[in-house]
Structure 1
């Protein structure tokens, strides 16, 4: 028996649907945007599971308090670079992160910085976070790109895993040029990373005032470095 033809939506229903979709899109575009990037090369494998778990916890905790729009980026392997869609749900972000694994390869920080600038041009970013432990690129190129982020008011929060002094020097310079901040963590201070990430999320949604009202040592450390 032939199925009866389905009812066609009226022009009023279509207009209402399109209006609702546009309204949702407009709300999403107004949410504070944070780009969150991680080095997923092989050198980070020993502490990857711990760091990944902390990063997931941070976004789940923040999501209960504020509404962020987050894009997850990472690089690894032979020129592999990934940028997720803009995510508004901490569970979706956690699922994305759970699928990431480390793979040997060179750093691609310059590529990441260019991506940050490109995303900011499309729709303003409040800040960008990068977690890494190595640099295998020309420092002048990285600092030049960090300076461009600073000119466009996109502070970089650079969190260094480990104690490499050359990485520290370049990360600190990049943070200063961008108007952001630098901090270190390691496997023995995983709670420090959680504290720092929560402080950044607060800054993205509430600015310097949110850091001033945050009593954690991580917030104090970032506030000391940020430009007035």
Structure 2
């Protein structure tokens, strides 16, 4: 399995508004018709409490590829953190079997959240080729949101929208995840442990957006009839 360690990066919070202003001026966004190929980073919290959710994600990740079948190609990279300092990325996958192979080989270990390292990795990865979207799935945060905002600003400059999906309703996580989504013109959604279908629909929605832009997202919503996908699309339209 090809993996690489992810090195953390920090910035000053004062830079955030400057980044946002520049990002708005550049108007970096997915075109209405959408590209024929998308690149998406799928990041998950793999600390100890997340094992049931991790196993569930392994089962439903195929929806991201199924959603764009016949529409375009989708490359997905898995990123996860666990333990006290482990944060790694897989190679790029273009089918559900390859991604599942990566996910199934990871077990969750006790540790702290490392969202800052995830965002820094995505920012570096986007320098090697356009990254259309980041999906992050987690339930809590143990980091200072002020350290995350500047890196989110860098993602906004590069046109990477973040889709922050929170399992549960931890207040601190809701605030931080919402801010990251806001800064990058992405979306923030919550779900509970029994909402496998909701998470599946949301994963498919982001994949559709990464490959087909707003049109791809709209087509996926019509196909699924999902109110949650409709709400996600509404967040994106509000920011466009």
For the aligned pair, the TM-score class normalised by the smaller chain equals: 0.7 to 0.9
| Aligned position for 2:142 | 136
Are the aligned partners of 1:32 and 1:68 in contact in 2 as well (CA < 8 Å)?
A: yes
Are the aligned partners of 2:68 and 2:208 in contact in 1 as well (CA < 8 Å)?
A: no
| Aligned position for 2:131 | 125
2:170 paired with 1:160: no
2:221 paired with 1:221: no
The one of the two structures with greater contact order (alpha-carbon pairs below 8 A, sep at least 6) is 2
1:2-151 map, 5 Å: 31-55=37-61, 57-62=62-67, 64-65=69-70, 66-151=72-157
Q: Secondary structure at the match of 1:188?
A: coil
- Report the CA distance between 1:195 and its aligned residue: 0.5
Partners of 2:89 and 2:209 in 1: CA distance: 22
Scaled by the length of structure 1, what TM-score is found?
A: 0.82
Moved over 6 A (4+): none
- Report the CA distance between 1:219 and its aligned residue: 2.0
Moved more, 217-226 or 110-119: 217-226
Number of aligned residue pairs: 198
Unaligned ranges ≥5, structure 1: 1-29
Scaled by the length of structure 2, what TM-score is found?
A: 0.78
Task: Name which one, 1 or 2, has greater alpha-carbon Rg.
Answer: 1
Partners of 1:189 and 1:197 in 2: CA distance: 13
Are the aligned partners of 1:63 and 1:90 in contact in 2 as well (CA < 8 Å)?
A: no
Q: Secondary structure at the match of 2:142?
A: coil
- Report the CA distance between 1:40 and its aligned residue: 0.3
| Aligned position for 1:11 | none
Pick the structure with more helix per residue: 1
Partners of 1:70 and 1:113 in 2: CA distance: 16
